[in-house]
Amino acid sequence: MSTFQLKLDAITDVTIIDVENGIAVPGQTVIVVGERIDKIGAQGKVYIPEGAEIINGHGYYLIPGLTDAHVHYFDAPVFGRLMIANGVLLVRDVGMPNDFILPLRDELNQGETLGPELITTGAILDGYPPIIPSISLGIKTPEEGRAAVRKQAEAGVDMIKVYSRLDKDVFFAILD
């Protein structure tokens, strides 16, 4: 019978960025079990479990994962590398065609494509004609607004984005 063991890492002598207190804390050891941080503490004060891969963090920094809450994720190979390299682990795409962004979201979230986790609005719901036709659905009537919301929900978007050309009655129908 085989036993499953999680990967175990110890990052030593690293500087932790404490965002709650706005300070950098040098000389820390971080124990990572699987994909989760298990312990953080001063170098020499944290027990490093046997079998842990030790990573020398001297001269490096660890920060919490960042979120970019307003992107239009149109160049996946470039965006993915740039976001990850800069510590961005979650992005919210706020307007791209469904047939492009929804498959990309799934690839990113399943680890098939390099990049941060992604949530998306899909196409923007805007009045007619829309300000940005390439990423928007132009809506003229309350009935079209309700239908557009149903269509977006069925497509699997994570949220709905409305834009500035919507008539008041269409906007309220979308909310409804």
CATH 2.10.240.10 for the 8-62 domain, yes or no: no
How far is CA 135 from each of CA 47, 49, 114, rounded to the nearest angstrom? 52, 51, 23
pTM given for the model: 0.79
Q: Check if the beta carbon of residue 147 is closer than 8 Å to that of residue 153.
A: no
Q: Check if the beta carbon of residue 122 is closer than 8 Å to that of residue 157.
A: yes
In the chain, where the domains are located? 8-62, 66-175
Q: Does residue 6 have a pLDDT over 60?
A: yes
Mean pLDDT of 117-128: 98
- The pLDDT tens digits for 8-59 are 999 999 999 999 999 999 999 999 999 899 999 999 999 999 999 999 999 9
For 104, phi then psi, to 5°, come to -65, -45
pLDDT at 4: 61
Mean pLDDT of 115-142: 97
